Amino acid sequence: MRLSLVPLLSRPRRLPNEHSFIRYISSSGSRPSSPALGVARSAPTLGHLPNTQSPFTVELEFFNSVGRPIPTYRVLDGLGDPLENATLPELDENYAKKLYEHMQLLPALDNLLYNVQRQGKISFYMTSHGEEAAVIGAAAGLQDDDEVLSQYREMGVLLWRGFGLDAIMGQCIGNENDKSGKGRQMPVHLGSPAHHFHTVSSTLATQAAHAAGVGFALRRTPERRERSIAVCFTGEGAASEGDFHAGLQLASTIPAPVLYFVRNNGFAISTPSTEQYHGDGIASRGPGYGTDTIRVDGNDVLAVLIAVRAARKRCLEQGRAVLVEAMTYRVGHHSTSDDSFAYRARAEVEDRKRIDNPLARMRRFLESRGWWDAAAEAALKARLKSDVLTAFKRAEMVPRHPIGELFTDVYGGEEPWNLREQRAELTRLLKKYGQMWEPWRKELDKFREQGRDLTEDK
């Protein structure tokens, strides 16, 4: 009798992550104590307790990890050469160049928009320096109509989807080319229904719970059930918010096809990731929700592309959440409101620019195929710099939406009393000071109709 129980108890009937690389091992790194021993010494009852597949044991053993350390998937080495035994994605020359050009477009935009913020031409900006591979690789691994709920450092997804420079500039300046926000959001709080990109909300991790709802809605929409997922981007800092956990829990239980993509860039503003969590990064949290999880080298664009493609497939096949943690490094300051050298050494940043540099690795990969050289590099950088500058200059000439748009689209249905009151107040002030006070007159000149949409009786 005892012998016949051994196979039954030696392995849970179904481990939550049978398909993933994560092994169920104890903190000491060994497998759970021998079930056979446990059976022999205790096993007072047969089977399992309710609500668990857990085998009995007599070992008093605590654990705090599920595989330590969790490995990081990569296919290119730190220089950009393919790793032995790595399976590269099938890439033709045009597609590989498209990846690289979009990666290079990010710093071209970042350099210009960071500088014009410093000149007071836009109010705020956040760069993607160092995270080009994570964001472009992820964008490329998705379908363009997957519903993206981003944090704020994922402008590259919109670029990949063809949002265009005029729309980026329009949003950052707040002119009429900001179709979705109409100039009412802070810069980089992008959104575009046409590009399936939900408007950024700075309130960290709210999108994680929203994504579970969006994923559920997709599952309940017959024409999208088989082909679309929701994608939630967060930073590792945002993963400390309750909403992150609520989102993962919801998407694993409702369940809903949501790909949670966490950019672990080492910082939440000034707090280094070493002070943000005690466990093994963010990936270790996935198994707690029974969620298939992978950690990927976020500076290896090909690895990110492969991992996201595979994660997306899993989301669709299983109809539930999948977690991807992309390890990278935030080379830039957190935002234009931050000076990161107040809390990290310049030398650290300089080192990180060299080690595993995502742009240099992809460039080397292209060169090794004979698809790229120094002349192509110089031509690309010159073209991007000029495109970005021209787009910004063009954007400066475009008027802002009429100022009265400030009060539209806030709520659906009938306009509430508080908005009516606020519009009346602004109208009163504009009538009184709009033309007689120089700073206001100059500011109003930037808006289509110069405020007359409010001040002139219609």
Ligand X SMILES: Cc1ncc(C[n+]2csc(CCOP(=O)(O)OP(=O)(O)O)c2C)c(N)n1
**Where on the chain is the footprint of Mg ion (CB under 5 A)?**
235-237, 265, 267
| Position with the least CB separation from ligand X | 235
Q: Is 270 in the site for ligand X (CB under 6 A)?
A: no
Paired strand residues for 23: none
Place of tokens 């800092």: 237
d(CA 454, CA 206): 34
- Smallest gap from Cβ 456 to ligand X, in A, equals 39
Place of tokens 């992978």: 294
- Smallest gap from Cβ 196 to ligand X, in A, equals 21
Nearest in space to 359 (alpha carbons), one of 94, 80, 74, 77: 80
The window from 44-52, 265-273, 312-320, 410-418 that contacts ligand X (CB under 6 A) reads 265-273
Give the residue, chosen from 237, 281, 332, 451, that forms a contact with ligand X under the rule CB under 6 A. Answer: 237
- Decide if 315 contacts 294 (C-beta within 8 A): no
Q: Which of 73/244 has CB closer to ligand X?
A: 244
Give the residue, chosen from 147, 178, 236, 325, that forms a contact with ligand X under the rule CB under 6 A. Answer: 236
190-229 positions binding ligand X, by CB under 6 A: 202-204
Nearest in space to 316 (alpha carbons), one of 259, 354, 373: 259
Contacts for 221 with CB less than 8 Å, ≥ 6 apart:
none
Q: Which of 170/247 has CB closer to ligand X?
A: 247
Name the binder of 192 from ligand X, Mg ion, none, CB < 5-8 A by kind.
none
293-352 positions binding ligand X, by CB under 6 A: 330, 334
137-166 positions binding ligand X, by CB under 6 A: 153
d(CA 38, CA 57): 5
Name the binder of 269 from ligand X, Mg ion, none, CB < 5-8 A by kind.
ligand X
The window from 235-243, 301-309, 358-366, 448-456 that contacts ligand X (CB under 6 A) reads 235-243
Binding residues for ligand X, total number by CB under 6 A? 17
Binding mask 239-258 for ligand X (x = CB under 6 A): --x-----------------
Nearest in space to 297 (alpha carbons), one of 308, 286, 285: 308
Q: Is 235 in the site for ligand X (CB under 6 A)?
A: yes
d(CA 4, CA 14): 19
Strand order in the sheet with 197-198: 197-198, 147-149, 230-235, 258-264, 322-327, 292-297
Q: Is 267 in the site for ligand X (CB under 6 A)?
A: yes
Task: Write the Ramachandran bin of 289: left for phi over 0, alpha for psi from -120 to 50, otherwise beta.
Answer: alpha
Q: Which residues of this protein are in contact with ligand X, per CB under 6 A?
A: 153, 202-204, 234-238, 241, 263, 265, 267-269, 330, 334
